[in-house]
């Protein structure tokens, strides 16, 4: 079969591929521990599951909804923005879609023309670059230096800007580094984007998963001008342990939201109706289950970070949010005789049965990613396996 050039030049998502490989080995009966996926290990809170069950039982979940989402869910998002972003929005500024991932896809399809450039600070979450390529745009990587907590500066962005630069991707707290831009850094970046007429794609999906007193400031909350220049991406997957429900949302200027809704209407029609009812409960119901999960992540981070830092050759900056550790393993690779991080990650999997994600897919060829969205016993066992791998 002759497949399209578009799909042939696409990479498989390395996070999903690493998880699939680990599951395959487990199914063969191998003793594999997987820290691959950024997916909370808690079941979705009971009140949220009940809301979906009721919607199904009452027959409300049987039908299509408007493409951009149930009016009640959009109202819940408007209210959520008043509470967590501190500014008012109208419901015509909201698109609910099949996961934050599909919101991102609709955004790139709506604003990118062939050859348009998108600035992506590295390390970056795996799907941005391929989605941009699907829209025939060109990802332009700007290195977030480790000594600057993997964050980029306005000077670096300005140096990468050309007449074709259309969008800047900003993901804070970051997947995979867990670092958070300060309000001051964001204001400088936001003002630069406004002055240069560059759209900001603010992927805030980890905004509430912050630890040890660190705070998240949404770039869109900093000024009216920045807000008009920004499309916010968020969703319920990470905050409420709802990865399987596939509900994300985008908030921005009505014209852009309308364009993105057109993409969604021609591809998915609407996000699953029962899942939308669950999301209403997630956003409007008790936030206690969320806080319990957040505290569990914080405890895991505080336990596992010092243990990881003791593994020979693993150098790690302590993350401030999200649920990933992203150690630099350059020295560990040298100790074990590897020069390629993907081969190094593969060797860890084969020799001690620990599945991690190679930094290569995140534009970071000296790092590996561990997700600590898993139970404490598995995390401690993972460190033991890493120690064993480095010793043998």
Instruction: Write out the residues near ligand PMP by the rule CB under 6 A.
Output: 38, 99-101, 125, 171, 175, 203, 205, 235, 237, 243, 248
Place of tokens 């996070």: 15
* From the list ligand GLU, ligand PMP, none, partner contacted by residue 13 (C-beta under 5 to 8 A by kind): ligand GLU
Nearer to ligand GLU, 125 or 192 (CB): 125
As a dihedral over the C-alpha atoms of residue 237, residue 242, residue 247, residue 249, rounded to 10 degrees, the angle is: -30
Q: Which residue is nearest to ligand GLU (CB)?
A: 38
Choose from ligand GLU, ligand PMP, none: what does 177 bind? Cβ within 5-8 Å by kind: none
Angle between helices 376-391 and 288-309 (to 10 degrees): 20
Strand pairing of 357-358 and 368-371? antiparallel
Given the complex with ligand PMP, which of 272 and 387 has the nearer CB atom? Answer: 272
Picking from 275, 213, 211, the residue whose alpha carbon sits closest to that of residue 240 is: 275
Beta carbons of 107 and 128 less than 8 angstroms apart: no
Which residues ranging from 162 to 181 are in contact with ligand GLU (CB under 6 A)?
Answer: 175
Angle between helices 341-352 and 14-27 (to 10 degrees): 20
| Residue closest to 35 by CA, chosen among 309, 375, 297, 294 | 375
CB of 289 to ligand GLU, least distance (A): 21
Binding mask 67-106 for ligand GLU (x = CB under 6 A): ----------------------------------------
Closer CB to ligand PMP, 101 or 385, in the complex: 101
Task: Return the residue of 15, 221, 273, 276 that touches ligand GLU, per CB under 6 A.
Answer: 15
The least CB distance from residue 103 to ligand PMP, in Å, is 8
- Measure the CA dihedral 332/338/341/347, to 10°: -90
Closer Cβ to ligand GLU, 69 or 248, answer by number: 248
Residues ≥6 apart with Cβ < 8 Å to 263: 105, 106, 109, 110
Picked from ligand GLU, ligand PMP, none, the partner binding residue 37 (CB below 5 to 8 A depending on kind) is: ligand GLU
Regarding 13 and contact with ligand GLU (CB under 6 A), the answer is yes
DSSP H or E stretch at residue 232: strand 230-235
Q: How many residues does the chain have?
A: 392
Q: How far is the CB of 254 from ligand GLU (least distance, A)?
A: 28
CB-nearer residue toward ligand GLU: 216 or 277: 216
């Amino acid at each position: 079969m002759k497949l399209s050039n578009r799909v042939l030049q696409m990479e498989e998502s390395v996070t999903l591929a690493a998880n699939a490989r680990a599951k395959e080995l487990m199914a063969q009966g191998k003793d594999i521990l997987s820290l691959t996926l950024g997916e909370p290990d808690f079941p979705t809170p009971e009140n949220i599951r009940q809301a979906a069950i009721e919607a199904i039982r009452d027959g409300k979940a049987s039908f299509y909804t408007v493409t951009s989402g149930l009016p009640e869910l959009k109202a819940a998002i408007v209210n959520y923005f008043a509470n967590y972003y501190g500014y008012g929005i109208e419901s015509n500024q909201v698109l609910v879609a099949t996961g934050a991932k599909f919101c991102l896809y609709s955004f790139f399809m709506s604003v990118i023309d062939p050859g348009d450039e998108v600035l992506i600070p590295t390390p970056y979450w795996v799907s941005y670059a391929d989605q941009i390529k699907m829209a025939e745009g060109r990802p332009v990587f700007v290195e977030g230096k480790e000594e600057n907590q993997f964050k980029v500066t306005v000077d670096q962005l300005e140096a990468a800007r050309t007449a074709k630069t259309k969008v800047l991707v900003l993901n804070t707290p970051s997947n995979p580094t867990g670092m958070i831009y300060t309000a001051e850094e964001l204001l400088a970046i936001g003002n630069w984007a406004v002055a240069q007429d560059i759209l900001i794609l603010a992927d805030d999906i980890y905004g509430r998963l912050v630890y040890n007193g660190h705070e998240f400031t949404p770039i869109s909350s900093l000024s009216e001008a920045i807000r008009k220049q920004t499309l916010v991406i968020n969703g319920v997957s990470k905050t409420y342990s709802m990865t399987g429900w596939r509900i994300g949302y985008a908030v921005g200027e009505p014209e852009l939201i309308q364009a993105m809704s057109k993409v969604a209407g021609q591809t998915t029609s609407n996000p699953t109706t029962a899942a939308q009812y669950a999301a209403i409960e997630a956003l409007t119901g008790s936030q206690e289950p969320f806080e319990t999960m957040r505290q569990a992540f914080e405890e895991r981070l505080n336990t596992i970070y010092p243990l990881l830092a003791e593994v020979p050759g693993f150098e790690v900056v302590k993350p401030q949010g999200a649920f990933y550790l992203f150690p630099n393993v350059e020295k560990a690779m040298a100790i074990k005789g590897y020069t390629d991080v993907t081969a190094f990650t593969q060797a860890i999997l084969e020799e001690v049965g620990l599945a991690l994600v190679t930094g290569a897919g995140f534009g970071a060829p000296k790092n590996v990613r561990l997700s600590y969205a898993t139970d404490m016993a598995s995390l401690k066992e993972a460190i033991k396996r890493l120690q064993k791998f480095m010793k043998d």
